[in-house]
């Protein structure tokens, strides 16, 4: 499991003052980026820019239990749910950091692609290894 924390910023909230639901999926993308930046030798940026590997989300779902508001901190625990040949599924448990209140449970399936052709490719071994280390 990898933990990512992020403050809720003013531009993350809607007119009611709570995090707009699509923003949770942006948080998931940030959390995956941080995980790979910390645990892949070249880091996430090199995976994309030098190795030309894309990691597009191809399926998303979420269940929401409580709101997050401007000024809160989101704590996001990432677990690998499934690793296939060319895609993987991650589960994100979002809580409010101040009191561990469960906020959302999100699931994202991510494909690995060649950025030049946009075709699916096998998950590179270094990325697969990180994913396996974070299996639930």
Q: Which domain range does residue 12 map to?
A: 2-109
- Is 135 a domain residue? no
- Is 26 a domain residue? yes
Number of domains within the chain: 1
What local confidence, expressed as pLDDT, does residue 42 receive? 80
- Is 105 a domain residue? yes
- Is 93 a domain residue? yes
- Is 129 a domain residue? no
Look up the CATH number of the domain holding residue 39. Answer: 3.10.129.10
- Is 114 a domain residue? no
- Is 123 a domain residue? no
Q: Provide the 10 A C-beta neighbour count for residue 1.
A: 12
- Is 115 a domain residue? no
Tell me which DSSP letter residue 67 carries: -
Per-residue pLDDT of the chain (136 residues; tens, 9 = 90+): 899 999 999 999 999 999 999 999 999 999 999 999 999 988 898 999 999 999 999 999 999 999 999 999 999 999 999 999 999 999 999 999 999 999 999 999 999 999 999 999 999 999 999 999 998 7
Do residues 92 and 36 make contact, with C-beta atoms less than 8 angstroms apart? no
Residue 124: what are its φ and ψ, rounded to 5°?
-60, 150
């Amino acid at each position: 499991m990898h933990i990512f924390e992020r403050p809720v910023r003013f531009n993350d909230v809607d007119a009611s003052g709570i995090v707009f639901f699509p923003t949770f999926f942006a948080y998931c993308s940030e959390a995956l980026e941080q995980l790979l930046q910390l645990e892949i030798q070249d880091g996430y940026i090199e995976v994309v820019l030098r190795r030309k590997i894309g990691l597009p989300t191809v399926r998303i779902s979420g269940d929401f239990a409580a709101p997050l508001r401007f000024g809160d901190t989101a704590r996001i625990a990432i677990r690998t749910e499934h690793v296939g040949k060319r895609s993987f599924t991650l589960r994100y448990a979002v809580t409010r950091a101040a009191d561990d209140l469960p906020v959302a449970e999100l699931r994202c399936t991510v494909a690995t692609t060649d950025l030049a052709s946009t075709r699916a490719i096998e998950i590179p071994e270094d990325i697969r290894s990180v994913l396996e280390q974070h299996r639930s």
